[in-house]
Amino acid sequence: MTVSVSVSTLGLMKQNVLHIKDVQASLSVLSTQLATGKKSLDLSAYTLTDGGRLLDLRSLITKKQSFLNSISSIEPQMKVYDSALTSLETVANDTLSLINQATGIEQANNTAAATQFEGLLNQVEYYLNQKIGSRYIFGGARFTTQPVRDLSALLATPPTSTSLVANPVLPDYDTDAPGSDASTYVKSSTKVDDGYTVTYGVISNDDAFQELILALRWAHAATQETDDADFQTGMNNARGLIVSAINDLRAVHGQVASNIAQIRTTKEFHNDFIASASGQIADIQNADSAEVATKISFAQAQLEASYSVTGKIASLSLVNYL
């Protein structure tokens, strides 16, 4: 009889020890959940569906964040384009006003006008040589080369044509002119979403800038004429070019403004998606702290009770039944 009771006692002891280990393991998991706020730090605690959903959402967030990084990298450049083009439109309008005011070859007026035209030309040079860090942003794919040379130096040689050049020929105001370089016509672009690449670059040899610079050169050259017919020819050439320049500058600026607006919308979309996806991840991952705390209290109570039972079973040794 005593042997039978002792064997039963030993079985109860083993069963209770196993129960204690189970409760301790559960308590460890619950304590981690309470500390991290997560149901699990790996995928092992989730269902196959939830685990797959977590992986998908994390992957999509990474992709959207990559697009946001691309957007952030081009935003400063687009803002400089916007500001520079606003100023260049002002230069073009001021040029047209000066041309319309220059009705004759009176020397005093033309001397003042020549100085003004040269000053406006210097402004064009300044804006087309804008940089972000060490990169020239109007130079096409030539980021380390200043795209526009000293424009005042070109005034020593009056223009002879109103014609523009096209890819790959360099306009004579280009730093590397004369010659050809297709890289100067490359407009920067970047992918900002699946299926959407924005071409945001603005190049110094765009027709709008060629027309603006030629108009100023023709206007300046006209102020140096002593013959009224030559003066009028020069100013008429300048007027035709500057009107075209104003229209083309508006088109270039309009495209930049459209890109900025589209980028802003795309950025908001990505941020909204990341916020939504993060919320879905939280719904799957996050542990209810109040519920976890309740479970911990219950597990601790179970553990204490098991310790108490184990102690009592241990006291029922073989000696007690002899």
pLDDT digits (tens, 9 = 90+) for 159-196: 999 999 999 999 999 999 999 999 999 999 999 999 99
More confident residue, 41 or 263: 263
Minimum mean pLDDT range among 7-11, 141-145, 267-271: 7-11
For the segment 36-76, what is each residue's pLDDT rounded down to a tens digit?
A: 656 565 666 778 888 889 999 999 999 999 999 999 999 99
Mean pLDDT taken over the chain: 86
- Our CA angle for 240, 245, 248, nearest 5°, is 130
Q: What share of the chain is helix, strand, coil (3-state, %, to 5)?
A: 70, 5, 25
Helix (H) or strand (E) holding 50, with range, is: helix 48-101
Question: How many residues comprise the chain?
Answer: 322
How many angstroms separate the CA atoms of 285 and 10, rounded?
Answer: 42
H helix intervals, 102-131 = 107-128
Cβ-based neighbour number of residue 214 at 10 Å: 25
Position 50 scores a pLDDT of 85
Flag whether pLDDT at 276 surpasses 50. Answer: yes
Find out whether 231 and 221 touch, Cβ atoms under 8 Å. Answer: no
**pLDDT recorded at residue 176:** 97
Q: What is the DSSP letter of 175?
A: T
- Phi-psi bin for 158: left (phi > 0), alpha (psi -120 to 50), beta? beta
pLDDT at 264 over 90: yes
Rounded alpha-carbon distances, angstroms, from residue 219 to 122, 156, 204, 209, 243: 14, 13, 21, 15, 13
Which whole-number Å values give the CA distances from 141 to 127, 229, 259, in the listed order?
18, 43, 19
Query: CA-CA distance, 268 to 248, in Å (whole number)?
Result: 30
Average pLDDT over residues 120-137: 97
Q: Which fold has domain 56-277?
A: f41 fragment of flagellin, N-terminal domain (1.20.1330)
Residue 196 bridge partners (DSSP)? 193
The confidence score (pLDDT) of residue 211 equals: 98
